[in-house]
Amino acid sequence: MRDAQLLADKFEEDRTHLRAVAYRMLGSTTDAEDAVQEAWLRLARTDTAAIDNLGGWLTTVVGRVCLDMLRSRKTRNEEPLDTDRLPDPVITSDTTPDPEHEALLADSVGTALLVVLESLSPAERLAFVLHDMFALPYEQIAPIVDRTPQTAKKLASQARRRVQGATPGPGADLPRGRRVVDAFLTAARGGDFDELLRLLDPDVVLRADAGEAMRVIRGVAAVGAQAETFQRMATLCMVHPVLVNGHAGLVNTLNGNLFSIIGFTITDDRIIGIDILSDRERLSTMDLSVILR
């Protein structure tokens, strides 16, 4: 481990895993990259001779970095994070596999789950992500949050209850999900209000992030009332089928520029969540040319 090249090679082997940890912790691909880079800088300043398990050490360091970043988003520690923005979506082709992105979303972290994670306190989020998603024992989590293993377990349990109570169960498989999204698009284009309502779950939630305060619209009547907006989007934009966080979704372009990204959460062939990102500043940082060509 004293050899610099060996160390760099080992770090590269763990990079995808570390990005996956950081993305679930932060809900931002840019912040996740920053957290992983900070872990590398800390590794470079550390005497690695005393590190028995480099992968575990790096995961712990990334967890600490992410915890600090989460806490810096709030004026006071342990308050739930503001859910005033959608998490960064991970966009992939639904026809051409992308091994790196598939690894990033190995446990199908949909937007709905990421939104709930945003509502947890930093310590709850870390305990849940590291234990429930990456099987890190509470004994290793406890020092990161400056708690006992028993308290770390309690934090994860609290988070688990909130996650289970606010996220849907297993969704439709991809082909079924794509059929529902295609039907939604057809209904929107044709102004078929009745079909649109049929596709929406009674408790559907629409989240729209245009760069200011995120709009949240709940219930089939209120979401259905956005039919004219859906129709404009479907007729004015060029619509591209993609995967948004591993689920059937849409990317819309206008005059060759990204206009919006829409993610869907689908259960029992009904749409229970629609997440629309149309923040021009955030969209301008995304290069989807390979996916949309």
Residues 196 and 200: their CA atoms lie apart, in Å, by 7
CATH number (domain holding residue 65): 1.20.140.160
Beta bridge partners of residue 273, listed in sequence order: 205, 265
User: 10 Å Cβ neighbour count for 58?
Assistant: 23
- Domain of residue 144 covers 4-75+113-166
Task: Indicate if the alpha-carbon torsion angle 169, 271, 243, 26 is positive or negative.
Answer: negative
Total number of domains in the chain: 2
Do 58 and 36 contact (CB within 8 A), yes or no? Answer: no
User: Nearest Cα to 29, choosing from 42, 41, 20?
Assistant: 20
The answer to whether the predicted template modeling score (pTM) of the entire model surpasses 0.85 is no
pLDDT in tens, 88-132: 888 888 776 555 555 555 455 677 778 888 889 999 999 999 999
- Please tell me whether residues 150 and 275 are part of one structural domain: no
Q: Any idea what the Cα angle at residue 14 is, between residues 9 and 20, rounded to 5°?
A: 150
For residue 96, being part of any structural domain is answered with no
Non-local CB neighbours of 219 within 8 Å, separated by 6+ positions: 202, 203, 204
| 293: pLDDT strictly greater than 60 | yes
For residue 119, being part of any structural domain is answered with yes
pLDDT in tens, 52-95: 888 899 999 999 999 999 988 764 443 344 457 888 888 888 77
- Please tell me whether residues 32 and 126 are part of one structural domain: yes
